Amino acid sequence: MDAFTVHIGTALPLRRSNVDTDQIIPAVYLKRITRTGFEDGLFAAWRNDPEFVLNRPEFDGVTVLVAGPDFGTGSSREHAVWALQDYGFKAVISSRFGDIFRANAGQAGLLAVTVDGDVVNRLWQLVEDNPAVEIVVDLPKSHVRCGDLVADFDIDDYTRWRLLEGLDDIDITLDREAYISTYEENRPSFKPATRLF
């Protein structure tokens, strides 16, 4: 995974709440077995509407998504994160995320940061007033900046460290393999196995 430090880019104001992962990418796009190429599925149903914000030319090239509360609820599909990344998004800002989506984002290297709802409102206003305005998402300083606005964001320390260092979670755990082996030696015998002998 590439390290994430500071990202600067234009933003998409998505004035919707409860954007579940079925909206981010419908199930029909999940049949592929590849790890990339999901950009065509991003918000697929909503993109049929020419007025949908992502279809407006002033938001071409956006890399930061500013969304309403409860973004990424529902299905565990990591394809939702991949679709956002494949489209070009580097960071998502919301006042609340679905837990699994936020974990998936941290795994895949999409920065999902939580800010107060009024910060989201102010960012929406700034971006709608001037779609060319850039948002700075600063992970070392744990804040977002846009014009005069500077707002701290929440992200858990472990995810923050992994993203800053660009570390692979599995590598970290495999370095601790001795703990796993010790644990396994002490598991009760009544725990089931998936094969019947």
Under the binding rule (CB under 8 A), the answer on residue 81 touching another protein is yes
Smallest CA-to-CA distance from 98 within 153, 22, 26 is with 22
Distance in angstroms (rounded) separating the CA atoms of residues 76 and 101: 7
Under the binding rule (CB under 8 A), the answer on residue 86 touching another protein is no
Query: Within 10 Å of residue 56's Cβ, how many Cβ atoms?
Result: 12
Stretch that binds another protein, among 71-79, 83-91, 130-138, 139-147 (CB under 8 A): 71-79
Under the binding rule (CB under 8 A), the answer on residue 156 touching another protein is yes
Binding footprint of another protein, residue count (CB under 8 A): 61
Under the binding rule (CB under 8 A), the answer on residue 50 touching another protein is no
| Interface residue with another protein, options 7, 90, 96, 160 (CB under 8 A) | 96
Nearer to another protein by C-beta: 55 or 136?
Answer: 55
Nearer to another protein by C-beta: 44 or 136?
Answer: 44
